[in-house]
Structure 1
Amino acid sequence: MATPVDSMRGKQLLVQIGDGADPEVFTADCLINTDRGLRLTSDTTSETISYCDEPDSPAWTEIDKNGLTATITGSGKLHTTSVEDWFDWFTGNDAKNCRVLLNGVSAGKGGGHWQGAFKLTEWEITGPEREKVTSSVTLVSHGPVTWVPAV
């Protein structure tokens, strides 16, 4: 029996960060080792347009998209050898090229990756006394993000 939806495991959603070289090499940093996500949002303006021939009827609201944003989130156990690089990224104003890869999914099933420049806007490190230290990051797009289908 076939499942109604093609699916994949969370570990196949992979955040990769470019090294800035030419050609650029993208790798997954071990600091994002548990949870990861991508949220695509749009800034909108709404306006309600009344119907001239039916002024007493409820009018529909029309939406215009003004801007698009992609936000990458990631978390996991703190990978200490990455701390200096992440801190430099956070304290600087540079964007880094990133990919969110649908790893292991073929092109015929919707595989590929989103790619664009991102700035590190939030970084949290927490550690309960008797547990491992964890870290979470938020990366926000700086310019366009594109979808690149798997080949």
Structure 2
Amino acid sequence: MTAVPRVTGSKLLVQIGNGANPEVFDHDCLINTKRGVQFSSEKTESIMPDCDNPDDPAWKSVSKDGFQATISGAGMLYAASLGDWWDWYNSDDAKNVRFNVTPAGYWQGAFKLTDFEVTADGNKDTATTTVTIVSDGAVVWVPVP
């Protein structure tokens, strides 16, 4: 039996492009504990009637109408980059983002920062952040050769 190679959380990195030419992607320390990516699709559903047995329950047919990727991240507040994230949230600008899965490859596309939260549970607790970044157009998978 071949064991599945383990991919740890530290191998999942949200890397944000700097907009330069050539563009450089770097992981910001603001996302330092939790990160994930979710892919979803808008759909249209139709009930396909059974012409031979019209009283029986029928199967649904699904057509995909649109795709979206949502990256979520969280961590201890990294104050050094707080201003950059705040500026991104306050704009309608998309940034090129990679969700890197080392050693397999990465998903890449333009993303907008749609949710940004800074919290702490108590006076002595460490402040934390959570972010949600939503795709603005196509997202592609780039495998490592």
Question: Normalization by structure 1: what TM-score?
Answer: 0.92
Q: Deviations over 1:53-87 (max 9, x none)?
A: 22122110011111100000000011111011000
Letter in 1 for 2:13: L
- The one-letter code matched in structure 1 to 2:50 is Y
Task: Tell me the SS of whatever aligns to 2:42.
Answer: strand
Question: What aligned pairs does 1:52-63 form with structure 2 within 5 A after superposition?
Answer: 52-63=51-62
AA at the equivalent of 1:2: T
* Aligned counterpart in structure 2 of residue 130 of structure 1, from 119, 124, 130: 124
Report the aligned-residue RMSD.
1.0
Q: Structure 1, unaligned stretches of length 5 or more?
A: 106-110
Report the identity percentage: 49
Q: 1:87 — aligned with what?
A: 86
Q: Alpha-carbon deviation of 1:51? A: 1.3
Q: Does 1:48 align with 2:67?
A: no
- Aligned pairs (5 A) from 1:1-150: 2-3=2-3, 5-103=4-102, 105=103, 111-127=104-120, 128-150=122-144
Q: Secondary structure at the match of 1:40?
A: strand
Paired positions, count? 144
Specify the code of the residue in structure 1 equivalent to 2:45: S
Give 5+ residue unaligned stretches, structure 2: none
